[in-house]
Structure 1
Amino acid sequence: MDLLFDVAPAPGRRPPLRFEVTGGRMLMIRQGDEPVLLGRVDDGHYGVDYARTGRYRSPVPPLRAAHAAAVAVDGGATWWARWAHHFRSELSDSGSGPLHEGRWVLTSRVPRLRTRWQLCSADQGYVDYEGDWPVLPLRTPAGPSDGRVKAYRKQARDGSLPPVLLWWAS
Structure 2
Amino acid sequence: MASKQNCPVVGTTNTTLPPSHPDIDLNKPGQVCPIVGATTDHHHNLHKHPQVPHPDLASEHLSHDDAAACPVLKNKVVKEPKSQQMDDELCPVVGTATTVLPPNHPPTEGKPGDAICPVTKARVDHHKGKLHGHPDVSHAGTDAVCPVAGVKANA
TM-score, reference length from structure 2: 0.27
Larger proportion of strand: 1
Larger proportion of helix: 1
Q: Which of these two proteins has the greater Rg computed from alpha carbons? A: 1
TM-score, reference length from structure 1: 0.25
Larger RCO (CA under 8 A, 6+ residues apart): 1
